[in-house]
Amino acid sequence: MSTSKIFRISGLPLEIDIDTLREALRLKQEGIDIKATISPCCSDPGTKVAIVEFKPCAPSYLKDVISGARPDHQIEMNDDHDDLNIDMDFYGLTQLYATPHKADITADIVAVTGIAGHAFGSWRGKGNLRRMWLQDFLKKDLPRCRTMIFGYDSRLDSPGAHEMQDYRDNLLTELKKARTSDQEQNRPIIFIGHSFGGIVITQALVKSRDSNPASDPDTYAIYRATYATLFFGTPHRGFNVKSLTKMVDRRKSEERLSLLNSIGTDSPLLEEGLKRFLTFAHQLKVVSFYEMLKSKTPEQVTTGFERIGPYELSVPKESALLGLDPEIEKTRHHCPSKGVPKEFISPRHRFSLA
């Protein structure tokens, strides 16, 4: 079964609607239609962003973006040089659905995917409908929450020289751009972290808490506003990275190998970050999910890597749980292949975060 491609289109004018977007994308000649969601831009209040799926296929001018030959594609929308930018990486913060007009936003939900994940795709189900639960379900259950995904270069084959601190700092920077007014800075934040994404969140919260509220109030405001964290298979105490390190091309990026080793078992970086996070975690609502279903590990084949190796738990239970008092940390097990149960972030269920 082929997987539909999802694109992000940024730089849209505020007055745009889906019909105008269709015209701007010049799809008629190729017989293509779109399924799109248009939302405010997180970092530029003067523009909007669309999340788009093309039907039955993407236009031919995006072939280089799909192949990875180019990171994005630009389209000139009008004579005023308002350029639309189309990408598939979803780096930075992207709002998933628009809140009701003039409604007060009750909370910001921020989801961070794991290493080798994708900011949008990692939250999609594996069924035939490929529902993206943060977008498709939460816009019904939590329409007054601004739900966002945070994307970063998490590819194992990336030549990037990123360290943990780079992802942490980028998340904080993007949040500060999205939360500039007093009302926004006082708005509660609910973080959702999958695997390595949970580590990025805890590291960011530690830096936010340790910042000076007088000289750096915008950074400190993130810690002050954080209400809850949901961790899905987060390796707080590290995990066996052997199956991932063998997928790294050492000729391309020794730094990527170093990043993986920094989150392995007995990692001083994780140990220190966890110790500092636990000093204030009791102030939060915490839900920690751990896996009970082993997955096949990747092995190299002629065309690359496939999951045909021995079965392993990606993150052991003892690493996925913080060990907080049960009144503070709710723990649940889940099956990764079935996606994340939405009931733990829905106001219609027992554990309400709204």
For 242-283, write each residue's pLDDT tens digit. 778 777 777 767 788 888 888 888 889 999 999 999 999 999
43, 50, 114, 211 from 154: Cα distances, Å: 21, 22, 7, 26
The pLDDT value recorded for residue 296 is 81
As a whole number of angstroms, the distance between CA 297 and CA 220 comes to: 40
Is the pLDDT at 216 greater than 80? The verdict is yes
3-state SS, one letter per residue, for 71-93: CEEEEECCCCCCEEEEECCCCEE
Q: What is the pLDDT of residue 312?
A: 80
Q: How many other β-carbons are positioned within 10 Å of the β-carbon of residue 117? A: 19
The tens digit of pLDDT for each residue in 324-351 reads: 999 999 998 765 444 444 444 444 333 3
pLDDT recorded at residue 350? 32
Q: Are 86 and 51 in contact (CB under 8 A)?
A: no
Q: Which fold has domain 6-87?
A: Alpha-Beta Plaits (3.30.70)
- pLDDT category at 81 given cuts 50, 70, 90 is low
Q: What is the pLDDT of residue 161?
A: 81
Options 3.40.50, 3.40.720, 2.40.160, 3.30.2000; which CATH number does 92-345 get?
A: 3.40.50
**Between 103 and 162, where is the model more confident?**
162
**CATH 3.40.50-classified regions of the chain:** 92-345
Give the global pTM. 0.90
Q: Tell whether the model's pLDDT for residue 298 goes beyond 50.
A: yes
pLDDT average, residue stretch 134-152? 94
pLDDT at 352 over 50: no
Location of each CATH 3.30.70.330 domain in the chain: 6-87
Q: Which residue has the higher pLDDT, 262 or 19?
A: 19
**pLDDT for position 130:** 85
Proportion of the chain above pLDDT 70, given as a percent? 91
Cα–Cα distances (Å) from 97 to 37, 39, 40, 347, in that order, read 6, 5, 8, 18
